Structure 1
Amino acid sequence: MSTNIFLCSYSYHTQRFHSQHKSGFPGYLFRLQTEGVCEVVVKGRKMELEKGNLLLIQPGDHYELLVRENQKSGDYYLGCEGDWIDEWWSRSAKPAVSRIDLDEKLLALWRHIIIEKRRPSSKENTELTDYLLRSLCLSLERAVNETTFSFSHPYAVTRMMRYIEEHATKVFKIEEVALHAGLSISRASHLFKKSVGKTMMEYAQQIRLSVAIERMNYTTMTLEHIAETCGFGTYSYFHKVFKKKYGVAPGAYRRLHIE
């Protein structure tokens, strides 16, 4: 199943700008507002886009973009088409506009595609570009689902879970997690425990233990090094947490599974 990117870049407008496709946009359009504001018209509906707004358009949709005088607007945009995109688009609802986190990993993925498309056609790795585009689509879909269709957890809890998952193998504070979700420490702690059934640190320990077991099984790292790099700090604390969870010391577990 093929994909094709026919435009991909970043734009920043400081003067009046107007673009329109009255007869319908020729492909799929992804547009993520990263700075300032602008106005769009999609299928006759006028909307103002602010920082964090993701616009998703399918082929044939009427589309207009307007940046007014004295406005500033910055955005990443990508136009694409192909069999895989058709299949991906059709398998779940895609709201025209949704608000997502401006996640640096997602933006880095978008920038990677931009750089690949700037290469001379003879130098472009089309297979790499194809997989980068698929990764971007799936990442955008997850971001939209977590903000628009997140029924399992409140969005603030989802944000806290993602923060903990990213930082679990390092030392972090509850205050940092709460700040990431825009909540007070007490509110964040209560909401997380109520929704997830674990405290933030219990959730982090679950991730740390999972990473530690993976490293015990598939690397030659010492147990002391594993304890340090998985966020436990000291081996003695790692030993205590591991034995309480699995009923056996880390060394005994490793010997059992190596043999």
Structure 2
Amino acid sequence: MDMHIEFCGYSFHTEGFYSSFKTGMGGYLFRLQTEGTCEVVVRGEHILIEKGDLLLVKPEDEYEILIAEGQNSGDYHLLFSGTWMDDWWNQSPKPTTVRVDLDDEFLSLWRFIISEFRRPDMEKNDALTNHLLRALCLSLERTITERSPGFKRPYVVTRMMRYIEEHAIEQTFTIDHVATCANLSVSRSVHLFKDYVGKTMIAYAQQVRLSAAIDQMTYTNQTLETIAYNCGFGAYSYFHRVFKKHYGVAPGEYRRKDS
């Protein structure tokens, strides 16, 4: 097996807690703060960890954690090792902490790893666990890149893009929701998005909807009216107009040619 998990899980502390690893932990530690705060010391540096902070510690790093008496602190934690992980860690500089969005996509991946780790040995799937760990690392790599100061757009714009990609096909999707996810006013979010993405939020949402519609037209036998609704267009007449403007043919003709 390429990678091995020493431990992983979720902890919630309501009482004081302290732990120290003066000679390192022998594996790579990922620790995601989901509730409250705590204080850690990594290589002699004192760091306040707040909700949404992901801590990354390499095997030989001196590490201490302190949760004060009466302080609430919740976290996902994972200690693992392997040659793939060594290569991934060394291929680019890794920050000690990075702020991540506590969204369902990221947390679901972490929970999936925990559930696999807790299975009886005879039912564990090492290949699946390896793929899940790699997916977690690669997802984190993208976050580190997108949050770096030299990235091509502010992270708040990336956050809006990800929200649209996830929610555009929902019937309740609105620009107001996108602005709320970014903690910006509607006018500010609209201008910032257009400046860095080069198209409006509605145009970007339509791109996501059309892509979803193409998939359903290709791989399902659902009616075009149903697909229009499923992909966030509502009425078929609106879907027909948007689709023909983008692809130059009506949805029905496109489907016949592709079949």
TM bin (shorter chain): over 0.9
Task: Tell me the distance in 2 between the aligned counterparts of 1:245 and 1:108.
Answer: 35
Q: Which residue of 1 aligns with 2:216?
A: 215
**Is the 2:145–2:151 Cα contact (8 Å) retained in structure 1?**
no
Q: Which residue of 2 aligns with 1:86?
A: 86
Q: Which residue of 1 aligns with 2:2?
A: 2
What pairs with 1:1-259 in structure 2 (closer than 5 Å)?
Answer: 2-148=2-148, 151-171=151-171, 172-258=173-259
Q: Deviations over 1:132-160 (max 9, x none)?
A: 21122122222232223561221111111
CA RMSD of aligned residues (A): 1.4
* Paired letter, 2:226: H
SS of residue in 1 equivalent to 2:122: coil
Shift in Å at residue 108 of structure 1?
Answer: 1.6
Q: Deviations over 1:17-76 (max 9, x none)?
A: 111111122110000011111111111111110000110011101111111122111111
Q: Deviations over 1:140-185 (max 9, x none)?
A: 2222322235612211111110000001111211111000000001
Task: Tell me the distance in 1 between the aligned counterparts of 2:216 and 2:12.
Answer: 45
SS of residue in 2 equivalent to 1:122: helix
**Is the 1:16–1:67 Cα contact (8 Å) retained in structure 2?**
yes
SS of residue in 1 equivalent to 2:121: coil
* Paired letter, 1:182: N
Task: Tell me the distance in 2 between the aligned counterparts of 1:246 and 1:51.
Answer: 44
SS of residue in 1 equivalent to 2:66: strand
Task: Tell me the distance in 1 between the aligned counterparts of 2:113 and 2:207.
Answer: 34
Task: Tell me the distance in 2 between the aligned counterparts of 1:14 and 1:175.
Answer: 37
Task: Tell me the distance in 2 between the aligned counterparts of 1:46 and 1:184.
Answer: 35
Task: Tell me the distance in 2 between the aligned counterparts of 1:85 and 1:223.
Answer: 46
* Paired letter, 1:148: S
Q: Which runs of 5+ in 2 are unaligned?
A: none
Task: Tell me the distance in 2 between the aligned counterparts of 1:71 and 1:144.
Answer: 29
TM norm structure 2:
0.95
**Is the 1:100–1:147 Cα contact (8 Å) retained in structure 2?**
no
Shift in Å at residue 217 of structure 1?
Answer: 2.5
Change in Cα spacing, 1:222 to 1:150, as seen in structure 2 (3 Å) is farther
**Is the 2:39–2:47 Cα contact (8 Å) retained in structure 1?**
yes
Comparing 247-256 with 155-164, greater Cα deviation is found at 247-256
TM norm structure 1:
0.95
**Is the 1:8–1:79 Cα contact (8 Å) retained in structure 2?**
yes
Task: Tell me the distance in 1 between the aligned counterparts of 2:15 and 2:247.
Answer: 62
Task: Tell me the distance in 2 between the aligned counterparts of 1:149 and 1:230.
Answer: 35
Task: Tell me the distance in 2 between the aligned counterparts of 1:248 and 1:73.
Answer: 56
**Is the 1:101–1:143 Cα contact (8 Å) retained in structure 2?**
no
Task: Tell me the distance in 2 between the aligned counterparts of 1:74 and 1:144.
Answer: 22
Change in Cα spacing, 1:67 to 1:129, as seen in structure 2 (3 Å) is same
Q: Which runs of 5+ in 1 are unaligned?
A: none
Task: Tell me the distance in 1 between the aligned counterparts of 2:114 and 2:214.
Answer: 38
Q: Deviations over 1:89-112 (max 9, x none)?
A: 122221001111112221122112
